[in-house]
Amino acid sequence: MSCWAQQVLDWSEVWAGLMPCAILLYNKQPPVFRPVVCYVWLSLLINIAIDLIWKLGDWMPQQYHSNNFLYNLLSIVRFFLFSLFFIKLQQPFLVSVKWLIIICFTLFLIADFSLSENFFNFSHFSSRLLSVEAFCLLFFVMQYYIYELKRDEAINIFTNQFWVVTGLGVYVSINFFVFLLYNRLSIQMQRFAASLWNLHNLSFILFNMFLVRGFYGNKR
């Protein structure tokens, strides 16, 4: 990949996040979309911090060179806000299971960072956290589709919420194995790990394009 193309891809976690933010500036979203709107703005701020630390790390004190804890923070923010979004959709399907997953994820967070991992690990983000988050959100996505397909009445499934859910589904399904394997690969196969993160960045661009489509139809 050429140098300029790699630079564009490296900064995609920032500029791709600007696309849905631009829509939000003039398209007010309905209440059900509020968790997603919060995610978009928080994701942009966190990703700006991630890339600034990465690119400007040489000019910062040694203890501030790592941005890995921000990836952990973003994962937690993404899980809880999108979980809330699925709850607010009020689909009468697997309601207890959805709440159980949220509770179990919360207990997993407490146990993992109390007993096993360091949230502020300098050398790498938590592959365990990001892969568990992706797996849980993939469940939420699949149950959304199953409920919509099981409904008796003829409906247009290509609603605004459909585009948001589909974008999330594409992102977490692509990145489950990226998150799961990235830390180990970054030690043993650094070049391959870097190429694998390009896949994450491409999927993030696609995710934000779906968010743009979902937000664009809401003019309330």
Please name which of 167, 157, 162, 192 lies closest in space to residue 178, comparing C-alpha atoms. 192
Whether residue 155 has pLDDT greater than 60: no
Confidence of residue 164 (pLDDT cuts 50, 70, 90): very high
User: Comparing 69 with 65, which gets the higher pLDDT?
Assistant: 69
Please give the Cα distance from 52 to 22 (Å, whole number).
Answer: 21
Q: Which residue has the tokens 């690119």?
A: 55
Q: Pick the more confident residue, 152 or 146.
A: 146
For the chain, the structural domain boundaries read 3-216
pLDDT digits (tens, 9 = 90+) for 121-147: 877 889 999 999 999 999 999 999 999
In the chain, alpha helices (H): 3-10, 12-24, 34-56, 68-88, 95-111, 127-150, 160-188, 190-216
Report the alpha-carbon distance of residue 182 to residue 197 in Å, rounded.
8
Share of the chain above pLDDT 70, in %: 85
Whether residue 33 has pLDDT greater than 60? yes
Average pLDDT, the chain: 87
Q: Band of the pLDDT at 66, cuts 50, 70, 90?
A: confident
Question: Of 169, 130, 174, 172, which Cα lies nearest the Cα of 146?
Answer: 169
pTM of this prediction exceeds 0.75? yes
Q: What is the dihedral of CA 114, 51, 66, 60, to 10 degrees?
A: -140
pLDDT (0 to 100) of residue 58:
62
Stronger pLDDT, 159 or 86, i.e. the higher one: 86
Q: Does the structure show a pLDDT above 90 at 198? A: no
| Region 91-104 average pLDDT | 92
Structure tokens at 170: 């594409």
Residue 188 scores a pLDDT above 80: no
63 C-beta neighbours (distance < 10 Å), count: 8
Of 83 and 64, more confident? 83
Asked if 131 contacts 125 with a C-beta cutoff of 8 angstroms, the reply is no
Q: pLDDT higher for 160 or 60?
A: 160
Mean per-residue pLDDT, 9-35: 89
CA proximity to 209, closest of 163, 169, 175, 174: 163
